[in-house]
Amino acid sequence: MKLAMSPAHNDSSDLQQMELSFTRVELDKTLTLAPNPKRVNGFWVTQTNSSNEVVEFMAEHFKRSPFFSGKRFRKSTYMPIISTVLANLLNAYNHRLQIIYSRDDHSGNRPWIHFWDFLSHLNLISTVIAGKNEKGVQSWCVALPELVELLKPATSTKIIFDRHQPSVVVRDKDGNVLPLSKNRAARLKYNRLEKDTRAFNEYWERHVVTLDGKNVVPIVKRKFNDTLEMGGRFYGGFQQLPSKDRARLIIDDLGTAEMDYSSIHWAILYAWEGVQIKYKAAYTLDGYDRDTVKAITLRALNIKNLSDLKKAITTSANPKNKEQYRAYKDARAVYEFERSKGLASKAPYKAPWIESFIEGIPSSTIADDLVDAFLEKHSVIKAHIGSPKIGVRLQAVDSEIMALVLNTLRLENIPALPIHDSVRIQKKHKIRARDVMAECFKEITGFKARVREVLPK
């Protein structure tokens, strides 16, 4: 391997000429390069320790560069950083993503900044650095062809979950990771959740997901809100793929299907009240079309009170607001595209009401009449609508169901990707996946589920 020590470009001409997607991805510090890739279905080329060679090579040059300012090069500190950065760049290159990263100047982040700057100085990445205190703007980068060439020996290396990182986290409302509770029961629960999630990620090291011939990282983390009793859904980068792209995912050389729970949160609410939901009637309401009722149903589980729901409906039914909302969406799309090209662009003004706008509400809708009719239809669960933290309480149940589904399928050697309340599996397993999902829902709630295949639009 050779590394040309050429100075970095002083302008953004490279970025302006690159055909970049305007999708960005946050740096995931849980990813690392797998040191010993395994041959899967005969089409993976195993290159023994290929990723270790790349990491060692980069580390040696970084250590001798002016960007390393420490007195002693500690491999235990820098090797994981280098491996994680390269793993993220490899994944981003495969899927035409841009990596958002932090340049906050605190001691724990400085080694990361130094390595990003080292790569930029050598023209191995192009980076856009956000100005200090510039609200809503983040630093980001993309791999350049020179780095892709260096990573070629590792392109057949799988990206795996870093075993030194937790696979289950609890965060506060600001996104800060909270320390593990000292309560014995909470610790036992955490250890069980961690063990199961880690087993899921390790299982996927023996399987391969691709999209258009490019590897997709199937790694997940479970994220809870404030306590282990709130939230807990599985999150992975593959979930950000549009549904039309998810439909083209390949698992171990075979096409896939997506099996989905119908109206899962409403079914859980009815189960809490000891009632079997009538799935066919879930989104029907006399005098209103199905799309309107569905839009209200989804919003009703994410409101603080009924007044906020009525206000959102009134705002969304206003023809002038509809026009302004469409204009904002169009302007935002232009802004994101220009930013992806490295061009100077100003974010469009976002009116406060846009956050609560509900698409698809007819202009003739009267909020009081719609909400009253809606609550009368769902009088059995009326007390739950608008109750404190109802959304994350429901997620805690649907994530428990999903964890049971994934574990059951894994033990039957059926690889499955969680998409919140649906799973993507090989087509040959869709009947079994449907049955497992129904069985797991009944085991947790005591009631019947409705599971259907999500067909590509």
Residues 160 and 32 sit within 8 Å (Cβ to Cβ): yes
Per-residue pLDDT, 16: 40
Range 440-455 average pLDDT: 96
Range 378-401 average pLDDT: 94
Tell me how far apart the alpha carbons of residues 343 and 75 are, in angstroms, rounded to a whole number. Answer: 38
Q: How much of the chain, in percent, has pLDDT values that exceed 70?
A: 84
Least confident of 19-28, 186-195, 339-348: 19-28
Full-model pTM: 0.77
Per-residue pLDDT, 40: 23
CB atoms closer than 10 angstroms to residue 100: 15
Least confident of 75-89, 123-137, 302-316, 327-341: 123-137
Q: Return the higher-pLDDT residue of 161 and 43.
A: 161
Pairing of strands 125-128, 139-143: antiparallel
Q: Return the higher-pLDDT residue of 38 and 228.
A: 228
Least confident of 9-18, 37-46, 268-277: 37-46
User: What are the structural domains of the chain?
Assistant: 13-159 (no CATH), 166-267+392-454 (3.30.70)
The total number of residues written for the chain in this structure: 457
Range 380-408 average pLDDT: 95
Per-residue pLDDT, 33: 54
Residues 31 and 89 sit within 8 Å (Cβ to Cβ): no
Q: Is the pLDDT of residue 188 over 80?
A: yes
Least confident of 12-16, 220-224, 452-456: 12-16
Q: Is the pLDDT of residue 42 over 50?
A: no
Q: How buried is residue 161: exposed, middle or buried, by Cβ count under 10 Å (0-12/13-18/19+)?
A: buried
